[in-house]
Amino acid sequence: MASTVKLLSALALTFSVSGAALAEDLVGDATKGEKVFKKCQACHTVEEGGPNRVGPNLYGFMNRGIATAAGYNYSAGMKEYAATGAKWDEATLFKYVEKPKALVPKTNMSFPGLKKPEDRKDLLAYLEAATGYKK
């Protein structure tokens, strides 16, 4: 467990250092992102006060600590990743939605990921608009 936390801490540091440069490249189209989000909406809601489903409600999640949505029971793998101090920022989310189990190997999230960078950029733009994120 300690070695896993060290590995995840190193990954979190890597993403936070490279995050600023990456964020400049993450400009997407929120309208297209809303369409991409249809792949997510069976498990997630985005409106303020919305319910948790199979996955947590995403309102207000940007720049919030990982695994911190009230009332949601996170997997052990996501709690382990959260212990690294990582936050949901643009760089982390961009990497996570590419292939969730690559970033958080023990996550319960069964979503296979979004391979196309443009889809991920568009999804980020939509989520930022829909979840009350203010840069």
Residue pLDDT, tens place only, 108-124: 999 999 999 999 999 99
**Interior/surface letters 13-46, b for 16+ CB within 10 angstroms, e for the rest:** eebeeebeebeeebebebebbbebbeebeeebbb
Residue 134 pLDDT: 82
Rounded mean pLDDT, 94-102? 97
Task: State pTM to two decimals.
Answer: 0.80
- The domains located in the chain, with CATH, are 2-130 (1.10.760.10)
Task: Report whether 19 contacts 111 (CB < 8 A).
Answer: no
pLDDT at 64 over 80: yes
